[in-house]
Homo-oligomer: A and B are copies of this chain.
Amino acid sequence: MFTCIQGDKRMRENTSTSDKLLLAAIDLMAEKGYDGTTTKEIAAAAGVNEVTLFRHFGTKENLLKTAFSRYHYADEMTKLFRESLTGDLHADLLLVSRTYHKLMNRNRKLLRLAQKGGNLPEEVYEESGRHPQQLKKLLMDYLADMAKQKKALVPNPEMQALSFMWMNYGAFFSSLNKKEAVSEEWLDEFIKESVGLFARALTP
Residues of A in contact with B (beta carbons under 8 Å apart): 32-33, 35-36, 115-119, 132, 155-156, 159-160, 162-163, 165-171, 173-174, 177, 189-190, 193-194, 197-198, 200-202
Contact = CB atoms under 8 A, between A and B. Distances in A.
A42 to B, nearest CB: 16
A118 to B, nearest CB: 5
Contact of A193 (B163, B168, B177, B200): B163
A154 B132 CA distance: 30
Contacts of A163: 167, 190, 193-194, 197
A33 B117 CA distance: 7
Contacts of A115: 115-116, 177
Nearest to A35: B35
B194 A197 contact: no
A173 B169 CA distance: 9
A43 to B, nearest CB: 20
Contact of A36 (B119, B159, B170, B193): B119
A193 B156 contact: yes
Lowest 7 A-B CB distances belong to which pairs?
A166-B170, A170-B170, A159-B193, A169-B170, A201-B201, A35-B35, A167-B167
